[in-house]
Structure 1
Amino acid sequence: MSASQGPYAGVLRDLAALMVAVSGESVTMVKRSAPEQAMKIKKSGEWEIYLEFLQLLFNLADRLSALYIPLKDQPVFMDGLEDAVTQQLKNVLAPALGPDTDEMEVVLAIGQTVAQSRQRYERFKFMATEESKQKDEYFKAFGEEIAHLMGAQGSGMVISAATLCGSAVIPAMKSLFESATAGTAQGQATTAAQAAPAPEGKTGNEIKLISVMSTIQGEEIETRWGLHPRFRQDLTPDQAQELNKLMNRVAEILGTRYASVAFSPEWTAWHHQGGTA
């Protein structure tokens, strides 16, 4: 019996949905962190970044599975996850792929992604659920690779955004594994629905790990951010402190950019036109 049909079928399905969704949302996040470079990236470049996020998530899933899945079952489990992600990605891309498209391209891309994930990230020795110097170096190396693919080598904003997206998924994965090993099938479905609704037509636009909002009233602009309660609940005090520091900086930058647009002549003209329409 394959893993996709055995006792791990639920967690494999939920993990695959989470990984596909987070990878897509993460591409959007890193593009926003470097808007000038994002405008120059072609679809093939976005696909490379997307697969790089999948590489990281496969590696994190492998590390976490070692804590919850019996050693004898782990190879079959990871093979099952590869199949589940491939199927999930086919479903997501189906509207964009024509009827004559060879789906083997997706199969080969995911297979290569898994192989590259092992080559690139297995050298880092750390526990995914604990903080360590090796874990910091792991995410730093990942962030630098994303910045390189973005054409923004050394960009602190891109590296921070990539690191945040990658590290924020650990609590969600951990929760899925805990629900599965506790034998709570209903818990799996609920956790998956809260953490990462399966995307339809778009790659990962449904999961919102962090939201940032700017509002304007008169000549005052307020920018604030919020974190999904499930992720906030699972953060350690050190992680929460680091996240607060990073997101306060992000909110400051976005607020400044929003202000430059909101008080521009073009915005004023558009706003008046919209108000009289």
Structure 2
Amino acid sequence: MGTANKEYHAQLRQLAELMLAVSGESVTMMKRNAPEQALKLKRQDEWGIYLEFLKVMFNLTDRLTALHIPIKDQLEFMNGLEDAVTTQLKTVLEPAFGNNADQMEIVLTVGNAVAESRDLYEKYKFLITEDSKPKNELFQVFAERVAQALGASQNGQVIAAATLCASAIIPAVSAVLQGQAPPTAAPSTPTQQPAKATGNGEQAKKGPTGQDIKLVSLMSNVSGEEVETRWGLHPRFRGDLTPAELQQLTKHLNRVAKILGERYAAVAFSEEWNSWHKTGHA
């Protein structure tokens, strides 16, 4: 292990555990958003979806290291993260496969995931902390790959859920890179239900890191002359609601989405704000 990775050993372990936990729960969330397709999934298909989440998280983490890890240590840090994820994955799979687990195959699988992550996502140039067209394009490409792997291509609910699952990892990874423990909800940060990646959220109870957790997301998209507005909830927040509360909240959020979507459409296509539609954000 390199000198830099000895220094960041605890963070690398935390990140590996976080990435695997989020990937696993994200697969569950994808299946919930497409129950018919979920019934047809084989173990190999679920594994493919799991790896899609690992790929995008390697890329997002790599971008975040530029903000928190010295330049001289970044390459060695990411190599160390690949090793940490491999080690953690071996530990996770050992109870299921015992001595039958092919250790070298796991090493190659993670290595291939990292390489494919670079091929897929490095071409999108953006600052991870800001909303931008390239950032939205990356999440869109990723979410469409997940939907295809699930056998639910063009399923808007799955695409929206996958986008939120991936974007929810950013504050948790940032907390770890800052030397803090990830937010308490980090292992279940994947979110679901119709929504896209950005929007205003209510402030959750602060955990030991002081990080805010986005409970509600709302986004408007422009496609040609059409405007689509979606909302979504954090899965743990949603799970805490009773059916009656969820029904009432759904009613109110549908109304909010309608009001904001109509307002956004009116502004986005006005002469004064004609360039808004290029950003895709309400």
Question: Matches of residues 105-254 of structure 1 in structure 2 within 5 Å?
Answer: 105-179=105-179, 188=180, 191-192=181-182, 194-196=184-186, 207-209=187-189, 229=205, 233-234=211-212, 240-242=217-219, 246-247=231-232
Structure 1 residue 209: Cα displacement: 2.7
Looking at structure 2, the residues matched to 82 and 148 of structure 1 have their Cα atoms a distance apart, in angstroms, of 26
After superposition, the Cα gap between the structure-2 partners of 1:230 and 1:110, relative to the gap in structure 1 and judged at 3 Å, is farther
CA distance in structure 2 between the aligned counterparts of 1:99 and 1:154, rounded to whole angstroms: 40
Distance 1:73 1:240, change over 3 A: same
Q: Is the 8 A contact 1:23 1:53 kept in 2?
A: yes
Shift in alpha-carbon separation, 1:145–1:27, aligned structure 2, 3 A = same
Preserved CA contact (<8 Å) 1:3 1:77 = no
Shift of 1:22: 0.4
Cα deviations across residues 153-187 of structure 1 (Å, max 9, x unaligned)? 100010011000000110111111112xxxxxxxx
Contact residue 209 and residue 228 of structure 1 kept, 8 A: no
Cα distance in structure 2, aligned partners of 1:245 and 1:113: 31
Gaps of 5+ in 1: 180-187, 197-206, 213-225, 260-277
Counterpart contact for 1:48–1:149, Cα < 8 Å: yes
- Where in structure 1 do 4 or more consecutive aligned residues deviate above 2 Å? 192-196, 207-212, 226-237, 239-251
| Mapped partners of 2:78, 2:154: distance in 1 | 33
Alignment CA distance shift 1:228-1:49 (3 Å): farther
What is the root-mean-square deviation of aligned Cα atoms in Å?
3.3
What amino acid maps onto 2:151 in structure 1? G
Q: What is the CA distance between 1:241 and its match in structure 2?
A: 4.1
Q: Does the C-alpha gap of structure 1 residues 228 and 44 become closer, same or farther in structure 2, counting only changes over 3 Å?
A: farther
- 1:41-100 per-position Cα deviation (integer Å, ceiling 9, x unaligned): 100000000001000000001000011111111111000000000011111111101213
Where in structure 2 are there 5+ consecutive unaligned residues?
193-201, 221-228, 248-282
Deviations 1:17-59 (A, max 9, x none): 1101000010000111000001101000000000010000000
Q: How many percent of aligned residue pairs carry the same amino acid?
A: 49
Contact persistence 1:53–1:166 (CA under 8 A): yes
Is the Cα contact below 8 Å between 1:12 and 1:84 reproduced in 2?
yes
Q: Does 1:71 align with 2:56?
A: no
**Structure 1 residues 211 and 60 mapped into 2: Cα distance closer, same or farther (>3 Å)?**
closer
When residues 3 and 105 of structure 1 are mapped into structure 2, their CA distance, relative to the original with a 3 A threshold, is farther
Matched with 1:266 is none
> CA offsets, 1:251-270, max 9 Å, x none?
7xx969x99xxxxxxxxxxx
Q: SS in structure 2 opposite 1:94?
A: helix
Structure number with the higher helix fraction is: 1
Alpha-carbon separation, structure 2, partners of 1:159 and 1:234:
24
Structure 1 residues 3 and 230: CA distance shift in structure 2, 3 A: farther
Range that drifts further, 126-135 or 51-60: 126-135
Q: Is the contact made by 1:209 and 1:227 (CA closer than 8 Å) also made in structure 2?
A: no
| CA shift in 2, pair 1:82/1:47, >3 Å | same
| TM-score normalised by L of structure 1 | 0.71
